[in-house]
Amino acid sequence: MQGITKSFPGVLANDKIDFAVEKGEIHGLLGENGAGKTVLMSILYGLYKPDEGKISVNGKDVEIDSPRTAMKLGIGMVHQHFMVVPSLTVTENIILGREPTKNRILLDSKKAFDDVKEFCDRYKLQVDLKAPIHALPVGMQQRVEILKALYRGADVLVLDEPTSVLTPPEVQELFKAVSALKNQGKTVIFISHKLREVLAICDRVTVLRRGKVVGTVKANATSLGELARMMVGREVIFKFDKEQPQTRKAVLRVENIQAVDDRGLPALKDIDFDVYAYEILGIAGVEGNGQTELVETLAGIRKATAGKILLNEIDITEASPSKRIQMGTSIVPEDRQKRGLIMGFSVMENIILGSHDQPPFAKGLVRINIKEALNYAKKLMDSLVHGSNGRINVREVLSYARKLVESLILGSRDKTTIAKGFVRLDITQTSDYARRLIEEFSIKTPDKDTLAQHLSGGTQQRVVLAREFSRNPKLIIASQPTRGLDVGATEYVRSRLVDIRSKGCAVLLISADLDEIWALSDRIAVIYEGRIVAVKDPERTSETELGLLMAGGKSD
């Protein structure tokens, strides 16, 4: 591909990109979100037409105007989101669009099965061919996608962020499969923003930044640091320096809690751990082993069927979500679009969520101070009945009447004040607060009134962080806090977590990303099928051991 340029309204997605892949290599295409990787590959696959530039395959100039043309030229693509029919079997999915037929009409099921079987054996990609797709784990579905592309005659296979949906063991399987393909003479283009993976699997790597090629390097002649620098344009921190804690005070105590999932099946079985001040406790585990339920139970959204939760030694097992927020629990939910933010709310409205009913944002429109009111009412009656020296002092009566009215509508705030129910949001306070947080957390938004749905994923996460970190939390529960974020945003989120830990906050980090757990945690707890199976010191534990524990194996 030479001089490829593609612009969208307001964005130059690809700027004179030269990109060459040799036959039989695994070529990494690395870049942050929005660097133009997917656009470039979509042009190669005929989904977009380039504004400028030319593409040649095997030395011949070609024009690729549709995926059909791309397939004819031997280019296949596996998208981030699978394009499979869940109810059909593996075989049916693979042959879809190129079904072998009898007499040109009837589907030849036997031949189809044999063809596909022979195919799987040739590429050493084993799948249960008769299983319906929806019954397969994600890694297997992806394998079906790869087989589908190969079945259609792909020599060049484009994999778009293939590992983003996989568990660590599945990633290993995928890497084996990709290596096998290379040995069969196939060419693979591996799109990713994960540095380690690219280094582990690729022969050469091309780095894109803001629509331009930064350079192409040999994988065995480069380093993590160099690639990160090329990708982000500056030095990137991987290991955070942390001071040692001064005290060991348990902020959160979880004592043998149990909870059921949405289907009523046990999801948490005797979960028991403590999180201390000045500590990040990482919870490692393959997704779906109870992490979601654990966060919801700690947030007070899901009921614990047994056990106790203590926050600073106060039992909060039965406390409402709002009570827990007020007591100093902050949560960065795993799904920021579903649980973290209200997309139809402005940045400002999102920033005060959870604190909206507390001062200084909420103010009584009507404040009735009962004690004062009663006091003035009595004085008023007295002055009317007795007066001073038998005569009614008009001035006195008026002044008591005024004070009575005042105490009824604008009484001074104390314990007898009733301001419940109708409470006004102080727009000046909320605006100032929102502006301050936008500044402090560098939230890239046109203004505080922009709707959350118009912000990028990284910016949305900053809004969540700004809100959760700014209400003086004692405990932060961060669930998959960097999922879907690019390198720069990930680094920001992680440094913020370390930062708040150093201030004495207890942090519970739940992540499926082992690198993340490793980089941040002071202790690592492994969750498997709703149980904490081990708590380890990251300094004295190997990655293999942790991987084994996450997969349900026993450690020595």
Partner 1 sequence: MENLTEHVNKLNLQVRRLFQRLEAELRASVPKMLPQVIAIVLAFAVGAIMLLLTGYNPFEAYAAMLIGAFGDTFGIGQTFAQATPIIFTALAFLFAYKCGLFNIGAEGQFLIGAFFAALVGISFSGLPSFIHIPLALGAGILGGAMWGFVPGVLKAKLGAHEVITTMMLSYVALYITGYMVNYPFKAPGWVAQTVLISPSAWLPQILPPTQLSLSIVVAVLLAVATHYTLCRTTIGYEVRAIGLNPSAAESGGIGIKKGIILALVISGAMAGLGGAGEVLGIHRRFIEGFSPGYGWDGLAVALVGGLNPFGILLASVLFGALRSGGMTMTRTTHVPLDVASILQALVILFVAAPMLIKYLLKRGGVKWSGS
Q: Which residues bind partner 1 (CB under 8 A)?
A: 33-34, 37-39, 42, 80-81, 160-161, 191, 193, 299, 301, 320-326, 331, 333, 338-345, 349, 353-354, 356-357, 362, 365, 402, 406, 410, 421-425, 427
CB of 423 to partner 1, least distance (A): 5
Task: Name the token pair of 81.
Answer: 């989101």
For 336, counting Cβ atoms within 10 Å of its Cβ (0-12 exposed, 13-18 middle, 19+ buried), the class is: buried
CB of 454 to partner 1, least distance (A): 14
The residue among 362 and 509 lying less far from partner 1, judged by its C-beta, is 362
For 96, counting Cβ atoms within 10 Å of its Cβ (0-12 exposed, 13-18 middle, 19+ buried), the class is: middle
What angle in degrees, to the nearest 10, is found between the helix axes of 457-469 and 487-502? 10
Handedness of CA 197, 227, 457, 357 (dihedral sign): positive
CB of 348 to partner 1, least distance (A): 11
> What is d(CA 160, CA 38) in angstroms, rounded to the nearest whole number?
7
The residue among 111 and 379 lying less far from partner 1, judged by its C-beta, is 379
The residue among 286 and 351 lying less far from partner 1, judged by its C-beta, is 351
CB of 271 to partner 1, least distance (A): 20
CB of 410 to partner 1, least distance (A): 7
> What is d(CA 489, CA 509) in angstroms, rounded to the nearest whole number?
17
Contact predicate 362/354, CB 8 Å = no
For 487, counting Cβ atoms within 10 Å of its Cβ (0-12 exposed, 13-18 middle, 19+ buried), the class is: buried
> What is d(CA 426, CA 363) in angstroms, rounded to the nearest whole number?
6
The residue among 129 and 508 lying less far from partner 1, judged by its C-beta, is 508
Beta-strand (E) ranges in 385-456?
Answer: 417-418, 423-425
- Cα dist. 375→371, 384, 405 in Å? 6, 14, 12
CB of 278 to partner 1, least distance (A): 26
CB of 332 to partner 1, least distance (A): 10
CB of 355 to partner 1, least distance (A): 9
For 394, counting Cβ atoms within 10 Å of its Cβ (0-12 exposed, 13-18 middle, 19+ buried), the class is: exposed
CB of 525 to partner 1, least distance (A): 23
The residue among 100 and 321 lying less far from partner 1, judged by its C-beta, is 321
- Within 8 A by CB and 6+ apart from 515, the residues are 196
Mapped to the 3 state alphabet, what secondary structure does 511-544 carry? ECCHHHHHHHCCEEEEEECCEEEEEECHHHCCHH
The residue among 60 and 338 lying less far from partner 1, judged by its C-beta, is 338
Determine which helix (DSSP H) or strand (DSSP E) holds 438, and give its type and residue range: helix 427-440
Q: How far apart are the first and last CA of the chain?
A: 52
The residue among 160 and 170 lying less far from partner 1, judged by its C-beta, is 160
The residue among 160 and 372 lying less far from partner 1, judged by its C-beta, is 160
CB of 357 to partner 1, least distance (A): 5
The residue among 261 and 406 lying less far from partner 1, judged by its C-beta, is 406
CB of 38 to partner 1, least distance (A): 4
Beta-strand (E) ranges in 75-186?
Answer: 75-78, 101-102, 106-107, 156-160
Mapped to the 3 state alphabet, what secondary structure does 441-488 carry? CCCCCCCCCCEHHHCCHHHHHHHHHHHHHCCCCCEEEEECCCCCCCHH
The residue among 339 and 523 lying less far from partner 1, judged by its C-beta, is 339
The residue among 132 and 321 lying less far from partner 1, judged by its C-beta, is 321
Strand 523-528 and strand 531-536: the pairing is antiparallel
Q: Could you give the 3-state DSSP secondary structure of residue 281?
A: strand
